[in-house]
Amino acid sequence: MEPNSLPTEVILTHSCQSLGSVCLDWTPQPGHYFNWQGQTYTVLERRHRYQLKSGRYRLHKISLYVQSVERPEDTTLINGHWVIGDVNCRFNAHSELMRCAVNPSGPCQDCRFFEPS
């Protein structure tokens, strides 16, 4: 195991089924995409597990709760985080998880609710 990596358990959210464990050298945040065994998942939640050792609590492992998704093609990097959908629309949520309030599942192209921001 690398010095900066922690064991990470990947759990499918809707069934609470563990998909397995992996050591990651990065910390996925909610909203990030995560490729695991040829499938793409969205990280919905991250939980830290601590262990008492020598009178101190230490980070022992991370649990990622994920959901299987198709990676959207209409993403834009803004201020260090990914945004789904057309960022020029007034209704865009500027979120990694939800496209917009009026048409959350998309697509943005030819959307009848489009209003320039």
Q: pTM to 2 decimals?
A: 0.65
Residues 11, 50: one domain?
yes
Residues 86, 39: one domain?
no
Query: Can you give the residue range of the structural domain that contains 57?
Result: 6-68
Q: What is the pLDDT of residue 19?
A: 92
Mean pLDDT within 75-99: 82
CB 32 within 8 A of CB 43: yes
Residues 45, 94: one domain?
no
Mean pLDDT within 59-86: 83
Residues 12, 60: one domain?
yes
Q: What is the pLDDT of residue 1?
A: 46
Residues 10, 56: one domain?
yes
The predicted-structure confidence for 37-71, as pLDDT tens digits, reads as follows: 888 898 999 999 999 999 999 998 999 999 988 77
